[in-house]
Amino acid sequence: MESRNASFFEEVFPCLKKELRSSSTPVDEIVHDEDQEQLEAEEVEPRRSKRQRIEKSFGPDFLTYMVEGEPQTYRDAVTSSEGPQWKEAIKNEIDSILQNRTWELVDLPPGCKPLGYRWIFKRKMKADGSIDKYKARLVIKGFRQKEGVDYFDTYSPVTRITSIRLVLAIAALRNLEVHQMDVKTAFLNGDLEEEIYMEQPEGFSAPGQEGKVCKLVKSLYGLKQAPKQWHQKFDQVMLNNGFKINECDKCVYVKNTMRGYVILRLYVDDMLIVGSDDKMIKCTKDMLKARFDMKDMGLADVILGKKINRTQHGLVLSQSHYVDKILEKFNEGDTSVAQTPVDTTQHLSKNRGEGVAQLEYSRIIGSLMYLMTCTRPDLAYAVSRLSRYTSNPSSEHWKSMTRLLRYLRYTRNYGLHYGRDPAVIEGYSDANWISDMKDSKSTSGYVFTLVGADIAWKSSKQTLIARSTMESEFIALDKAGEEAEWLRQFVEDVPGWPKPMSAICIHCDCQSAIGRAQSAMYNGKSRHIRRRHNTIRQLLSMGVISIDYVRSKDNIADPFTKGLSRELVHKSSRGMGLKPFEQVCTKENLS
């Protein structure tokens, strides 16, 4: 804890000792005292760990890679070769702030210190890699705020990626239009309750009032409470206009009337609007434009870096341009391809020696993780497996990484194709019991599909050691049941969904796990999984889930737990709804 209120005990050791030395202590006694103190310090030296330290090689480009070419200061922006574009972006930002009455100029009260600010400049890119617009953002230095004085709560929910896919799947199922809107300067709309002062921005000081400061009336980017205040303001507007909040996702709003319904999904300032007809969508847009400064982007094209393509039979969600960026940045000189993401003959283990390009390895893992989370479930197991060695990768880990990038090149055009049927949510669960002799923990995996493509998936190493195949499968089944319960509660709030909703069927390829889940009896060998047993039994009795047997070769959750052969990888990818976008368009043209 840091505090300004410090007490100095000048007559207590060691202050007293230093004071005596500075006044009347002889030189020889000072030297003797210093030697004695050195000996005492050596005697009480803290014990240090003898564990071998492993150095992490960040490479020579540790700092330089972060610079993407955007200006770092206001002066750099206005004097650069793109000065006119940046000046226009700065003017738009200041105009938005002034129109929104974000602050008022006042004299700084005694005892107060204004917070600083910084300009952030970014080039917004399109899906094809070209520049969409230049963006300038005035950000206050909120890291200097004091908790309990300048801010209190800082939380703000954001929608799950699963919710985005689920809403798009529903739109494909019912052949609904998907529109997109963007809130300009979203965080400026939040009402500020605390008293905060900021310096006037460079180049925009009010004439004759240069000595005054900005007293914030509304929240500003950089404030710790800005996300929370914006979401609270948006909640109030939506509730006051007849919308209800989905209890499973606080950023999904639903309005159901006699004329029709509309579903709105919010991710900070990006909105997807799905309505039963054009009138409901237009009515929602008019309401939002009346309350906020909005940008109507029409039919949804790109949302959070994911391309939305409409076809005759549904929607395709893909990230082929993002894949090209990954390959261009990390695997440019390699033109080889691989037809499977994992080499089944290679067994990875923890690196005990010197790491190889740890920073580059981490950057690739981060890029692949975003790709896998959004649109590529076939990468889930490979990314989960390689991410376990991020801290100290070896040449063997890099070999597996290179293979995964080659598979990515082979499947760059893959996308999730949401069609018109089947209009039912199905789940698949699987586990791999101790596949590696050096690691005793199993791997769980599950996947849920709707209208022919995945809407939710996960591949992860289990947190405890399973004692048998049945137990590892049972743990995976429990995780799948948890996700199934969330999906069922989500769609129950969707207008027009059949009521009462039927149980979500989870397919499992382990009959012993199915028998254990459906049995009410315990024995001594399964006491440690009693909590999971009770959870699954409760979901079964409430009609939330049902469990059915499926053969391993037909279980599309199988690639989430282990590496597979070329034929099984291709078959499971089609089961997930992953198809090349060109192939989908070709089939539609032929039909």
Distance CA 565, CA 459 (A): 18
Question: Does residue 516 contact residue 535 with C-beta atoms inside 8 Å?
Answer: no
Confidence of residue 583 (pLDDT cuts 50, 70, 90): low
548 part of a folded domain: yes
Would you say residue 571 lies in a domain? no
Q: What is the pLDDT of residue 18?
A: 43
Does residue 269 sit within a domain?
yes
Q: Are residues 387 and 440 in the same domain?
A: no
Beta bridge partners of 9: none
Give the model's pLDDT for residue 367. Answer: 92
Check residue 237 and give its pLDDT. 93
Contact indicator for 200, 213 with CB cutoff of 8 Å: yes
Kind plus residue range of the DSSP H or E element containing 504: strand 504-508
End of a domain among 267, 283, 304?
Answer: 304
Three-state secondary-structure class, residue 119: strand
Task: Tell me: pLDDT of 416 over 90.
Answer: yes
Same domain flag for 299 and 345: no
Q: Are residues 335 and 368 in the same domain?
A: yes
Residue 338 resides in a domain? yes
Do residue 413 and residue 427 come from a single domain?
Answer: no
Q: Answer yes or no: is 231 within a domain.
A: yes
Q: Out of 68-82, 166-180, 364-378, pick the least confident.
A: 68-82
Contact by Cβ (8 Å): 514, 506: no
Question: How far apart (Å, rounded) are the C-alpha atoms in residues 565 and 552?
Answer: 13
Per-residue model confidence (pLDDT) at position 47: 53
The token pair that represents 113 in the structure block:
């210190």
DSSP state of 147: B
Distance, CA of 457 to CA of 483 (rounded, Å): 9
Question: Cα–Cα distance between 243 and 256 in angstroms, integer?
Answer: 8
Q: N- to C-terminal Cα distance for the chain?
A: 71
**Which residue, 436, 434, 441, 445, is CA-closest to 560?**
445
Residues 168 and 265 in one domain: yes
Q: Which amino acid is at 381?
A: Y
Assess contact for 316 and 405: CB atoms under 8 A: no
The answer to whether 48 touches 39, Cβ cutoff 8 Å, is: no
Any alpha helices (H) in 309-445, and if so which ranges?
Answer: 320-330, 358-374, 380-386, 395-410
Whether 456 contacts 249, CB under 8 Å: no
Q: What is the DSSP letter of 11?
A: T
> pLDDT digit string (tens) for 566-582?
899 999 999 999 988 76
252 contacts 244 by C-beta, under 8 angstroms = no
CATH of the domain at 452: 3.30.420.10
Of the candidates 533, 484, 526, the one whose C-alpha atom is nearest the C-alpha of residue 505 is 484
Per-residue confidence band for 144, with pLDDT thresholds at 50, 70 and 90: confident
> How does DSSP assign 471-491, residue by residue?
HHHHHHHHHHHHHHHHHHHHH
Measure the CA–CA gap between 489 and 544, rounded to whole angstroms: 9
**DSSP SS3 for 565:** coil
Whether 99 and 228 map to the same domain: the answer is yes
Q: In which domain, by residue range, is 80 found?
A: 74-304
Q: Which of 414, 383, 400, 405 is nearest to 333 (CA)?
A: 405
Among 365, 398, 418, identify where a domain stops. Answer: 418
More confident residue, 244 or 529: 244
Q: What is the pLDDT of residue 428?
A: 94
Mean pLDDT for the stretch of residues 273-291: 91
Asked whether residue 180 falls in the same domain as residue 287, the answer is yes
Which distant-in-sequence residues (6+ apart) come within 8 Å of 160 by Cβ? Answer: 249
Give the pLDDT band (50/70/90) at residue 285.
very high
Out of 418, 437, 467, pick the residue that ends a domain: 418
What's the per-residue H, E or C state across 430-473?
EEECCCECCECCCEEEEEEEECCEEEEEEEEECCCCCCCHHHHH
Cis preceding linkage at 110, omega within 30? no
Residues 407 and 501 in one domain: no
Contacts of 560 (CB under 8 A, 6+ apart): 377, 380, 381, 430, 443, 444, 445, 446, 447, 457, 458, 459
Q: Are residues 149 and 163 in the same domain?
A: yes
Cβ-contact 384, 342 below 8 angstroms = no
Q: Where is average pLDDT lowest: 134-138, 468-472, 557-561?
A: 468-472
User: Is the pLDDT reported for residue 213 higher than 70?
Assistant: yes
Q: What pLDDT, on the 0 to 100 scale, is given for residue 408?
A: 92
Structure tokens at 553: 């070769």
CB 131 within 8 A of CB 125: yes
SS3 content of the chain, % helix, strand, coil (to 5): 40, 20, 40
Indicate whether 549 and 484 sit together in one domain: yes
Q: What distance in Å separates the CA atoms of residue 387 and residue 215, rounded to the nearest whole number?
A: 46
Q: What is the pLDDT of residue 3?
A: 58
Give tens-digit pLDDT for 35-84.
444 434 444 445 555 555 555 454 544 443 333 478 888 888 888 888 88
Chain segment 80-107, per-residue pLDDT in tens = 888 888 988 888 888 888 888 888 898 8
What is the Cα–Cα distance from 317 to 309, expressed in whole angstroms? Answer: 7
How far is Cα 219 from Cα 254, in angstroms, rounded to an integer? 27
pLDDT tens digits, 512-549 = 888 877 876 655 555 566 677 778 888 888 889 999 99
pLDDT at 244: 93
Q: What is the number of other CB atoms lying within 10 angstroms of the CB of residue 440?
A: 12
DSSP letter string, 200-253: PPTT-PPTT-TT-EEEESB--TT-TTHHHHHHHHHHHHHHHTT-EE-TT-TTEE
Cis bond leading into 114, ω under 30°? no
Give φ, ψ of 80 to 5 degrees. -80, 175
> Are 260 and 357 contained in the same domain?
no
Return d(Cα 379, Cα 373) in angstroms, integer. Answer: 9
Rounded to whole angstroms, how far apart are CA atoms 550 and 428?
Answer: 9
- The segment with the largest mean pLDDT, out of 87-96, 125-134, 194-203, 278-287, is 278-287
Q: Is residue 135 part of a domain?
A: yes
Instruction: Tell me: pLDDT of 148 over 50.
Output: yes
Residue 556, domain member (yes or no): yes
Same domain, residue pair 402 and 434: no
If one counts the domains in the chain, the total is 4
Domain for residue 49, yes or no? no
